[in-house]
Amino acid sequence: MEINGRTRTCGLFGNPVEHTMSPAIHHFLAEKTGQNLAYLPWCVPQGALPDAVKGALAMDFLGVNVTVPYKNDVIPLLSEVDELAARIGAVNTLVRVGSGFKGYNTDMPGLYRAMRSDGVTFEGEKFLILGAGGAARAVAMMLAEKSVKEIRILNRSFSKAADVAGEINGYLGRELVLPMELSAWRELPAGERFTVIQATNVGMYPKVEDAVIEEPGFYEKVKIGYDLIYNPMETKFMKLVRQSGGEAFHGFKMLLYQGILAFELWTGEKISEELAGLTYAHLLQEMKK
């Protein structure tokens, strides 16, 4: 990669950012598409996000990714917010528009593309979501728009699960999302198997020996388990799914596709599935280093 006077800058705002794989995605895509683009991670201290956004505008950044803990905090700092991002309530991609940034959410379209590429079906299917935080809420909103038959949110705090379910059901105007306490999984209909999305940070490196639910009986109800975590590449949740005969996937492809969608928004390039596959292979190599 050559840096010169025509190089456009993109970056990542978050805290921490040391673990990010995003530069590997964007520099590989830039090389393959001939874009003169540099991507840098920036650790933004608490309270400094407004200054970071102003600085990115002043220095004419082409675009910015936003990660935890700032996906909600960044919204008031934007000149526009995409409709999908507004519904989800989280922004992870900023695109320069005039004198400001427009906010998008590429996480959920990225998750959808990742799951589709792994053979997951949506229409008429029943889903369980483990967790009721911001990621779980976004996943539930994504699923609600994909003609799924039913969504159950399982969380240690029933009230939080009920809040998310109520919000999404209110948006839909019908009862699609059902809240449950995590310990109530035994009340799930007998004989049914579900697609389960693990949307908590339980099992994330370095606490790799933990899972939200440990009981083998739960995993007998899982036909597909999708963990949003991608480090480690096989979480305890995934191991338990596979031990009970289900298929299990990690969040690495979600990372890939959210990055591809951001790159497309910034550059106008359309990334083919062939190039997406090459980028995925490149990321796997980088993870092993």
Catalytic residues: 71
Q: In what order do the strands lie in the sheet with 63-66?
A: 37-43, 8-14, 63-66, 93-97, 100-104, 80-81
Query: Three-state DSSP class for 134?
Result: helix
Whole-angstrom distance, CA of residue 218 vs CA of residue 36? 49
The backbone region for 107, taken as left when phi is positive above 0, alpha when psi lies in -120 to 50, beta otherwise, is alpha
How many separate helices (H) and strands (E) can be counted in the chain? 10, 12
Nearest to 188 by CA among 160, 157, 213: 213
Nearest to 139 by CA among 120, 159, 119: 120
> What secondary structure letter does DSSP report for 16?
S
Helices marked H in 67-146 — which ranges? 83-88, 107-117, 134-144
> Degrees (nearest 5) of the Cα angle 228, 234, 237?
65
Whole-angstrom distance, CA of residue 32 vs CA of residue 187? 51
Max Cα–Cα distance, the chain, nearest Å: 64
3-state DSSP helix/strand/coil percent for the chain, to nearest 5?
40, 20, 40
